[in-house]
């Protein structure tokens, strides 16, 4: 495989032409007449919705990763999905290639990009403005169960397993948002995109989700606080909860998450290529986060 050196230009996988992707699908998965459409979102990686005309699932998602993706860690993510499904979670299911490989590579401009093909799920993403208390309760119960089971899956997460502090650690998602926990048509929650996962504090995940209530601008701070309170109450009243609620710890991680998101959004502004609507939206998010009192 070609590796990245200090002088090699990083090309966003979004730049790979459609005809190149179609040829890849035909060759790698024996698809006769694939049809593809670009999915929204994705900065470093990109997703394509794929329709099939043969006996494979009627719709799937091809995810193309950037050229710097750690393949060993990606294989562990696939393993994590399998382990979580065995515990009753709904996670991505990988479709193997005609050579029975989970991870395959598409070449463009002498660079190999890792890819996976996943079964498609019809999903509805909630927002702070549309989410109900029942949905908040389901999400809280899913997250607390996730933290309970991943504590014994240490080898699939980044970070040391040594814990000299009193912080309760487990396997955490690392980028927990409503976007990464949409509802399927059967009202179950589909959880995905664990590429930022690590072994850390549960409060980091809780803070990640809670900050999205405030930052989106979909609701005012009073409503966002109500969502936060209901989520926290449900999470820590679960028999799966590993510790008692600590407001100070949550606030500490909320402040850290705010700093992290602001940095991320500023970096996205640099990569937005002058898209005025995108720049304004990200500026609004940053302004709301800077004015958030924790």
Q: How far apart are CA 284 and CA 273, in angstroms?
A: 18
Are residue 225 and residue 280 in the same domain, yes or no?
Answer: yes
Instruction: Tally the domains of the chain.
Output: 2
Are residue 194 and residue 256 in the same domain, yes or no?
Answer: yes
- Which of 120, 150, 167 terminates a domain? The answer is 120
Q: How far apart are CA 179 and CA 187, in angstroms?
A: 15
CATH number of domain containing 21: 3.30.200.20
Question: Does residue 3 sit within a domain?
Answer: no
Question: Does residue 2 sit within a domain?
Answer: no
pLDDT of residue 189: 98
pTM: 0.88
Are residue 100 and residue 152 in the same domain, yes or no?
Answer: no
- In this structure, the number of other CB atoms found within 10 A of the CB of residue 203 comes to 24
Q: How far apart are CA 214 and CA 71, in angstroms?
A: 35
Q: The domain containing residue 276 runs over which residues?
A: 124-290
- In this structure, the number of other CB atoms found within 10 A of the CB of residue 177 comes to 16
CB 294, CB 251: distance < 8 Å = yes
Closest Cα to residue 71, out of 48, 103, 34, 93? Answer: 103
pLDDT tens readout for residues 251-291: 999 999 999 888 887 876 655 555 555 667 777 778 888 88
CB 207, CB 253: distance < 8 Å = yes
Tokens of 123: 């999903």
pLDDT tens readout for residues 187-246: 999 999 999 999 999 999 999 999 999 987 889 989 999 999 999 999 999 999 999 999
Q: If you ran DSSP here, which 8-state letter would residue 111 be given?
A: E
Are residue 78 and residue 194 in the same domain, yes or no?
Answer: no
pLDDT tens readout for residues 92-103: 999 999 999 999
Are residue 208 and residue 252 in the same domain, yes or no?
Answer: yes
Give the burial string for 75-90 (b: 16+ CB within 10 Å, else e): ebbbebbebbeeeebb
Closest Cα to residue 38, out of 58, 62, 59? Answer: 62
Are residue 189 and residue 132 in the same domain, yes or no?
Answer: yes
Q: How far apart are CA 78 and CA 92, in angstroms?
A: 8
| Percentage of the chain modeled with pLDDT above 70 | 87
Which residue would you say has higher pLDDT here, 179 or 1? 179
- Token pair 């006996």 is found at 55
pLDDT of residue 7: 44
pLDDT of residue 9: 61
Q: How confident is the model at residue 166 (pLDDT cuts 50, 70, 90)?
A: low
Are residue 280 and residue 141 in the same domain, yes or no?
Answer: yes
pLDDT of residue 52: 75
For 74-90, what is the mean pLDDT? 98
Are residue 56 and residue 130 in the same domain, yes or no?
Answer: no
- Which of 86, 120, 154 terminates a domain? The answer is 120
* Reduced 3-state DSSP string for the chain: CCCCCCCCCCCCHHHCCHHHHHHHHHHHHCCCCCEEEECCCCCCCEEEEEECCCCCCCEEEEEECCCCCCHHHHHHHHHHHHHHHHCCCECCCECCCCCCCCCEEEEECCEEEEEEEEECCCEECCCCCCCCHHHHHHHHHHHHHHHHHHCCCHHHCECCCCCCCCCCEEEECCCCCHHHCCEECCCCEECCCCCCCEEEEHHHHHHHHHHHHHHCCCCCHHHHHHHHHHHHHHHHCCCCCCCCCCHHHHHHHHHHHHHHHHHHHHHHHHHCCCCHHHHHHHHHHHHHHHCCCC
- Which of 72, 88, 120 terminates a domain? The answer is 120
Tokens of 114: 């890792």
């Amino acid at each position: 495989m070609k590796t990245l050196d200090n002088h090699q230009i990083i090309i966003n996988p979004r730049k790979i032409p459609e005809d190149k992707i179609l040829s890849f699908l035909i060759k790698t998965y024996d698809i006769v007449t694939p049809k593809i459409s670009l999915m929204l979102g994705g900065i470093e990686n990109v997703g394509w919705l794929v329709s099939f005309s043969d006996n494979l699932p009627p719709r799937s998602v091809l995810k193309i990763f950037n050229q710097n993706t750690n393949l060993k860690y990606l294989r562990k993510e696939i393993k994590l999905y399998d382990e979580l499904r065995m515990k009753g979670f709904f996670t991505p299911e990988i479709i193997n290639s005609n050579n029975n490989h989970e991870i395959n590579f598409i070449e463009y401009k002498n660079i190999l990009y890792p890819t996976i093909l996943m079964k498609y799920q019809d999903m509805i993403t909630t927002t702070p403005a549309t989410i109900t208390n029942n949905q908040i309760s389901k999400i809280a119960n899913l997250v607390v169960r996730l933290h309970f089971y991943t504590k014994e899956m240490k080898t699939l997460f980044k970070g040391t397993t040594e814990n000299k502090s009193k912080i309760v650690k487990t396997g955490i998602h690392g980028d927990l948002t409503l976007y990464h926990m949409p509802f399927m048509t059967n009202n179950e929650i589909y959880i995905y995109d664990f590429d930022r996962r690590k072994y850390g504090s549960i409060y980091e995940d809780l803070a990640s989700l809670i900050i999205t209530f405030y930052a989106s601008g979909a609701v005012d701070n009073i409503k966002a606080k109500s969502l936060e309170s209901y989520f926290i109450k449900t999470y820590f009243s679960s028999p799966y909860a590993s510790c008692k609620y600590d407001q100070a710890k949550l606030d500490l991680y909320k402040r850290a998450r705010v700093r992290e998101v602001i940095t991320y959004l500023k970096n996205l502004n640099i990569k937005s290529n002058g898209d005025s609507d995108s720049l304004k939206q990200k500026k609004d998010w940053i302004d709301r986060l800077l004015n958030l009192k924790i």
